Amino acid sequence: MWKPANLKGIARREIQLEHKIHKKRLTRVSSRIDNTPPKQMRHLSLNSKGKYLEESKKNLINSSNKILVDRMLKVTSRQSSLTRPTKHSLLTNRPKQTEELSRITNENFRLFHRLNMCKPHYPIERSEQQYKVQNRIKQRISYQNREPKKLNHSQILFNPAVDKIQSVKCLNGTNVVFVL
């Protein structure tokens, strides 16, 4: 006799078979709407104006580079005023001039090295605080269509040891607050 377990297995296989057939049919379905991309227009794919602009930009950069190279060559090929003989320079003065030039060059190098090794002393916290205060004031002025309210010291973030607040009365009777 037929057992209910067998009926359930047969039903499950039948559902799987129907699902396979359904998947095959879905793969064979052709679309009713044309989904192919439109034909590419030749003038759009060439982009001749863009190529022309890029080429002219490159030419301009190359010509300016050539001019700069020529100027640099002229400057480097010139004799310095110390090596070029002048009416007033004497042979006895030349060693002294070259010594002075080397001293200045060394001093400039040491100064350059000191500047590169120096750490910045810019107070970042203070500048961020000022930025926040200025933004709050700007927002309050821009969001209010009426005259801006007079700001109290408690409404503004500031450091009284470093910052100073000055209130100025304008001609139209409004008060403007500045953080100095």
Q: How many domains does the chain have?
A: 1
Residue 107 lies in a domain: no
Residue 155 lies in a domain: yes
Residue 77 lies in a domain: no
| Domain enclosing residue 150, as ranges | 124-179
User: pLDDT by residue (tens digit) across 155-167?
Assistant: 545 555 545 555 6
User: pLDDT by residue (tens digit) across 41-73?
Assistant: 887 778 888 899 999 999 999 999 899 888 888
The mean pLDDT value of the chain amounts to 76
pLDDT cut 90: percent of the chain above it = 16
pLDDT for res 59: 93
Between the alpha carbon of residue 60 and those of residues 54, 55, 63, 70, 92, the distances in Å are 10, 9, 5, 16, 50
User: pLDDT by residue (tens digit) across 95-136?
Assistant: 888 889 999 999 988 888 888 787 767 777 888 888 888 888
**Number of neighbours of residue 94 by Cβ within 10 angstroms:** 13
Residue 150 lies in a domain: yes
